[in-house]
Amino acid sequence: MRSPKDFFRPLAVGAPAPVREVPFRPSRMIHFFDPGNEKMAAKVPAIAPTVDVLLGNLEDAVAADRKEAARAGLVRTAKETDFGDTQLWTRVNSLDSPWALDDLITLVTEIGDKLDVIMVPKVEGAQDIHYVDRLLAQLEAKAGVTRPILVHAILETATGVANVEQIAGASPRMQGISLGPADLAASRRMKTTRVGGGHPGYLVREDPHADEVAPRATFQQDLWHYTIARMVDACAAHGILPYYGPFGDIKDTTACEDQFRNAFLLGCVGAWSLHPVQIDIAKRVFSPAPADVAWARKVIAAMGDGTGAVMIDGKMQDDATYKQCQVVASLADALAARDPELRDAYAAAEKETPA
Ligand SMILES: CC(C)(COP(=O)(O)OP(=O)(O)OC[C@H]1O[C@@H](n2cnc3c(N)ncnc32)[C@H](O)[C@@H]1OP(=O)(O)O)[C@@H](O)C(=O)NCCC(=O)NCCSC(=O)C[C@](C)(O)C(=O)O
Ligand SMILES: [Mg+2]
């Protein structure tokens, strides 16, 4: 085990010092594209200003015989594109694949100065993060990268879920964790064939009626509640950020929005967009509503130093609701600084809210 005193030391001579706090940068949607698909890659410069994060995907959904083309495509796209203040991430191949090592070596040495975060799939425990951590430090030192590339883990195996707290705290590089519902379902031997979302068979049924004839209502339950809640706690405990992950039914924009909103309310800061149609859904869901932001600011103003209890519109406010309102207001501030439309919507709602 590393001594806590060494935790923030670089893992290679000449590598940049690790961050002490994960910088909070808006990441409402992590937009996936296949860098080896020329048609999709050509859209990247136009999509970049409309998303918080662009992610060049090298892992699943890229066919085995296209892995090298995807890697080369990502290097080319990164070199040729001005991303402005949109983050560039990548998802490398899993550590047990023949491509992961070349992905890391090529990407850090070629475009390490442009990459903000490397997403590592199928992380099973702290040992996977330690492997990537040391390797990244060596490659950063070799390439002269001056700020540390952060690491994001996908929670998509039963073992990974069992070890999620250790994964979250494995390195100061850890930026966040996303749910990977498809691989996780397979790993757990769940009987779903979907990428995220509910299932009509996973339900509770109301009790029989007295006449024993009237139909009994059923209520679909959320298959992912336990995992998301566990992931959120692990991330919050280690000061890193939780994300929902992908929703595979591209045409069902309503259910996508519902699933994203559940994750937002439980503490996630974003989700993946697999198709352009999901970008605005994530933007809408992961930006607090203007009325909620106005309410939060009203409570903060009324609470003064944040201690004591006051009544606002019939509702008791105290130190804890003050903290909840600060979560909403500080998220709104960070998003408004990036999104002028949202800034105006928040300002308008505040004006309309009586003090
Ligand atoms: C679903 C697909 C095949 C439908 O692609 P399509 O071409 O059939 O769809 P379309 O509606 O006809 O597309 C309309 C236009 O949008 C473009 N387009 C379409 N998608 C994108 C995109 N993402 N970015 C930029 N452009 C995009 C597309 O090229 C087309 O352009 P055109 O009008 O000029 O012909 C396609 O959207 C796609 O490949 N998306 C990414 C899929 C992906 O990355 N999957 C892996 C992540 S999920 C996962 O791995 C699971 C996890 C976590 O590991 C675990 O749970 O275990
Ligand atoms: Mg997966």
User: What are the tens digits of pLDDT across the range 259-313?
Assistant: 999 999 999 999 999 999 999 999 999 999 999 999 999 999 999 999 999 999 9
Token readout for 346 is 């928040």
284 exposure class (CB count in 10 Å sphere: 0-12, 13-18, 19+): middle
Is pLDDT at 32 greater than 80 in this prediction?
yes
pLDDT classification of 353: cutoffs 50, 70, 90? confident
Q: How far apart are CA 245 and CA 85, in angstroms?
A: 22
pLDDT digits (tens, 9 = 90+) for 99-146: 999 999 999 999 999 999 999 999 999 999 999 999 999 999 999 999
Q: Kindly state the average pLDDT of the residues 196-205.
A: 95
Q: Percent of the chain at pLDDT above 70?
A: 100
Instruction: Report CA Rg, the chain.
Output: 22
Rounded Cα–Cα distance for residues 210 and 247 (Å) = 40
Residue 354 has pLDDT above 90, yes or no: no
Phi, psi of 120, rounded to the nearest 5 degrees: -110, 120
pLDDT for 355 equals 74
Residue 131 has which token pair? 């492997």
Pick the ligand that lies closest to the CA of residue 39.
1
Q: How far is the CA of 4 from the centre of ligand 2 (A)?
A: 32
User: What is the whole-number distance in angstroms between the Cα of residue 55 and the centre of ligand 2?
Assistant: 15
pLDDT category of residue 1 using cuts at 50, 70 and 90? confident
pLDDT exceeds cutoff 90 at 2: no
Using alpha carbons, select from 268, 267, 245 the residue that is nearest to residue 197.
245
- Mutate which of 40, 60, 253 for ligand 1? The one with the most ligand atoms within 8 Å of its CB, which is 40
Instruction: Place 237 in a pLDDT band, splitting at 50, 70 and 90.
Output: very high
Using a 6 Å CB cutoff, which residues line ligand 1?
32-34, 39-40, 43, 47, 57, 60-61, 154, 156, 180-183, 195, 245-246, 250, 274-276
Instruction: From 251, 283, 254, select the one nearest 269 (Cα to Cα).
Output: 283
pLDDT interval class at 85 (50, 70, 90): very high
Secondary structure E strands in 197-260:
203-205, 218-220, 241-243
pLDDT digit string, tens, across residues 41-66: 999 999 999 999 999 999 999 999 99
Instruction: Among 67, 275, 280, say which to mutate for ligand 1: greatest number of ligand atoms within 8 Å of CB.
Output: 275
pLDDT, residue 203, reads: 97
Angle in degrees, CA 50, 51, 57, rounded to 5: 130
- Higher pLDDT residue, 46 or 353? 46
- For ligand 1, atom 41, which residue shows the shortest CA distance? 274
For residue 273, which atom of ligand 1 is closest to its CA? 23
Does the ipTM surpass 0.95? yes
Counting atoms of ligand 1 from 1, which one is nearest the CA of 39? 29
